[in-house]
Homo-oligomer: A and B are copies of this chain.
Amino acid sequence: MERQKIHNSTRTAPSGGAIKNVVLLNIPAKDFSLIRPHLEAIDLPPQLILDEPGENIEYAHFLNEGLASLVVLTSDGRSVEVAIVGKEGMVGTPLAVGLDRGPYRTIMQIAGSGLRIKSRLLEQTLQHSPELRLILNRFVLIQGLQIAQIAACNRLHEIEQRLARWLLMCQDRVESDLLPVTHEFLAQMLGTGRPSVSLAAGILQRASMIENLRGTVKILNRKKLEEAACECYRAIQHFNGGLGIR
């Protein structure tokens, strides 16, 4: 068990880079050897779109660093984020159950890198690895719980709390205290207008929880920020308990 852990922590991609993605690290060694040759290292700059709603999903992505958002778009051009995926999961969940498209846009929020695998090759691998299949299906469910909590949060809580929640969830998946996001972008994620975000961010700043810099938000006091956030943050954190997030 201990040896397995050590082995996991030094698992490498074909390109030689260390793997940090929790899903990949949790695959049993024998099954990892099945998938490893098909993995392809990929750089993931901010705003890169990984999947579009209704379009064929070519690759499954496993992040090592950075942060992707699942976003629902409406016909009038507005948008809301419904889930966040970092190194704890997988992007392209429909592939896990043999479907080839989903209804959301998946977009890189914070730059990073990861590994990708052709959908057809993932499917082949899944047929020989029930363990991987279980891991992915479990992630699909957990992600559903996260989405449900955000659904409730979107309805019941106010912008200030939701902003605090978002900043915390974001920082949980990034090393730094500096989150490179603009208010405009936050507005799209929170499904609101930009002035509302600036207003809420101003309040948090005056309470010295954060500092608003140009194009980035700096976390000054995590503890106070957690108090300002709604219970949804704790709830989501709890779902992810087994997935290696904090």
Contact = CB atoms under 8 A, between A and B. Distances in A.
A45 interface: no
Given A93-B141, A137-B97, A140-B141, A70 B154 contact: no
Q: SS class of chain A's interface: helix, strand, loop or mixed?
A: helix
A80 interface: yes
A83 B141 CA distance: 14
A31 to B, nearest CB: 16
B151 A93 contact: no
A72 B134 contact: no
Contacts of A154: 151-152, 154-155
A155 B80 contact: yes
Interface centre among A70, A140, A151 (most CB of B within 10 A): A151
Interface string A139-183: 011011101111110111000000000000000000000000000
A191 B192 CA distance: 18
A33 interface: no
Contact of A148 (B83, B98, B134, B192): B83
A141 B191 CA distance: 23
B138 A191 contact: no
Contacts of A137: 96-97, 137, 140
Given A140-B137, A141-B94, A239 B103 contact: yes
A233 interface: no
Nearest to A139: B97
A149 B103 contact: yes
A7 interface: no
Given A103-B145, A156-B191, 6 more contacts: A74-B231, A97-B137, A97-B138, A103-B235, A143-B144, A155-B155
